[in-house]
Structure 1
Amino acid sequence: MRIFLTGGSGYLGGALIERFLASGAKVSALARSEAARERVAARGAEPLAGSLADAGTLRAAAAEADAVVHAAVDFTDPAMRAVEEPALAALLAGLAPGRPFVYTSTGLVYPDAEARAVKASVGEDTPVTPERSPQPYKVLGERQVLAAEGPAVTVVRAALVYGRGGSALLRGMIAGARERGTVPYVGDGGNLWSSVHVDDLANLYVAALARAESGLVVNAASREASSMREIAAAVADLTGARALSLTPEQAARALGPLAGVLTRETVLDPSRAERTLGWRAVRPPLLAELRAGSYA
């Protein structure tokens, strides 16, 4: 299988390239800068110079591929939808009918109130809207790819990704703890988050490509959820810092928009991925990984 990958120079991209190559696939990956091209090549994939703004490059690469995986993401860019929409259109137009296309989404598309109201994990049939998500462009991206005719589209809604010492949120918490000596959480910190090890997540992509079922939406999460208080305590143990509770008002002043994300309850039900794709998360859970795994 020839796989074209966006985001190959990033955190998840590294695990995907490794797993795709191990499965016997050939991988080409979009790389915007010389440094990104060097990372992609070092990982064993063929770098393709270009960016998500290069529609012609994307369409041609997809046309030559047996499958496309879109894993490029910048959750901090407010203009990401303007970049992603034409990029997705080009990729979908280039990929031949029936060939698999995997779109990387996030568990943050789910409305926060759903998880809190039922105090249970949230399934893929829960309605999602841009207005109720802190990552609205991912909701719109999901709608765009699922509406496309031709390719066999799978949407992966990933929980908090961890492992291999990565994850922007966790690395940010660790860096902040070492700088300030404290690890903040909001209120009692009892709100729960699902998580998924990056290597387990990469295995899910391989399973999705093999099945190539059109219109499939799956949650990617382990069966163990952690509270933000527990995550803060694990980061504190790792760094020698102190976990610190902030009021919502204090958190808003200290953390800005991140405060709203950290107070969400994001517990995902992975049953569909387990049942449909034969996948299950098997790596050490988040708290153990923080205290004694790759972050240590």
Structure 2
Amino acid sequence: MRIFITGASGYVGGVVAEHLVGAGHEVVALARSDAARERVEGLGAKAVPGSLRDLDVLRGAAAAAEAVVHTAVDYVDPDMGDIERDTLGALLGGLHDGGAFVYTSTGLVYPDRRGATVDEDHPVAPETSPQPYKVLGERQVLAAGHVAGTVIRAALVYGRGGSGLLQGLIGAGRRNGMVPYVGDGANEWSSVHVDDLAELYVAALERREPAGDGVVVNAASAERTPIRRIAETVAGLTGARAVSLTTEQAVAAMGPAAGALTRSSPMDASRARRLFGWAPRRPGLIEELTTGSYARS
């Protein structure tokens, strides 16, 4: 299958592209810089110069593909919502009838369930999500009736020494000798190893639903981990102390991102297992932090 992917020079997208190439697919990847081009070509993909703002490039690349995988995102860009809307419009507009489209979303679209497990049928809305444009992006993909749309809501992604949250905590431990969590840190998070996540993308493309029958799946292992345990494990890794902050202290130190650290919406991923035969098999988050890629980095 000829697959066009955005974000292949990034953390999740790079591993997804690697797995797609390994599965025998022809992968064409958007590359916005020379460094990105070298990265994607090193994975075995063909680079197409351009960015998410180059709508004609996106439309043309999608038109030449049998499937599109959208993983590119910049959570700190205040214009990302508008960029995402226009990017999806170009990609979906270019992709031919019956093509497959896999959209990368996040478990943060769910409202805070205070520890109650959530599945894909739970309502999501921009007003209750820390990533409102991801909710809107999901809707845009699922409303495109001419393609087979799959939305993957990923839990906390880890593995291969990556993850913005984990790298941030590790950096804090090394710089400041302190790894923060909020309150008692008992709120539990779901997580997924980046290689297990990439295998779900491959399965979603190879076993895709018919065009017009959009599907949403959670991507998470069975493990649920309290934020405090993550902080304590990172503290042990970096020789730092895990420190509890009040909500006010966390907001002062981290801004709006602090609110996400108090959430707890563990994810039920049984639909992905049922539809796509997906079975996470990599080491769990704490094991990976303790003896895996983070311990070696």
Count the aligned residue pairs. 292
Residue aligning to 1:86: 86
* Residue 68 of structure 1, CA deviation: 0.4
Q: Does 1:201 align with 2:212?
A: no
Q: Does 1:23 align with 2:23?
A: yes
User: CA contact under 8 A between 1:193 and 1:225: conserved in structure 2?
Assistant: yes
Residue aligning to 2:216: 217
User: CA contact under 8 A between 1:99 and 1:212: conserved in structure 2?
Assistant: no
Matching of residues 225-264 of structure 1 within 5 Å: 225-264=224-263
* Residue 240 of structure 1, CA deviation: 0.7
| Aligned CA-pair RMSD | 0.8
Letter in 2 for 1:148: A
2:186 to 183, 190, 196: 190
Matching of residues 37-116 of structure 1 within 5 Å: 37-112=37-112, 115-116=113-114
Query: What TM-score do you get using the length of structure 2 for normalisation?
Result: 0.97
Letter in 1 for 2:170: I
Deviations 1:88-140 (A, max 9, x none): 1111111111111000000000001xx21xx4310001100001000001000
- Ranges of 4+ aligned residues in structure 1 off by more than 4 Å: none
What residue ranges of structure 2 are gaps of 5+ in the alignment? none
For residue 209 of structure 1, give the secondary structure of its aligned residue in structure 2.
helix
In 2, the alpha carbon distance for the partners of 1:143 and 1:82 equals: 14
In 2, the alpha carbon distance for the partners of 1:255 and 1:32 equals: 29
User: CA contact under 8 A between 2:218 and 2:271: conserved in structure 1?
Assistant: yes
In 2, the alpha carbon distance for the partners of 1:168 and 1:31 equals: 21
Report % sequence identity: 64
In 2, the alpha carbon distance for the partners of 1:41 and 1:21 equals: 11
Q: Does 1:126 align with 2:122?
A: yes
In 1, the alpha carbon distance for the partners of 2:120 and 2:8 equals: 26
User: CA contact under 8 A between 2:116 and 2:265: conserved in structure 1?
Assistant: no
In 2, the alpha carbon distance for the partners of 1:125 and 1:133 equals: 15
In 1, the alpha carbon distance for the partners of 2:244 and 2:120 equals: 32
In 1, the alpha carbon distance for the partners of 2:206 and 2:291 equals: 34
What residue ranges of structure 1 are gaps of 5+ in the alignment? none
In 1, the alpha carbon distance for the partners of 2:244 and 2:82 equals: 37
In 1, the alpha carbon distance for the partners of 2:45 and 2:14 equals: 10
- Say which is worse superposed, 190-199 or 73-82, in terms of deviation: 73-82
Residue aligning to 1:290: 289
User: CA contact under 8 A between 1:273 and 1:279: conserved in structure 2?
Assistant: yes
Letter in 1 for 2:10: G
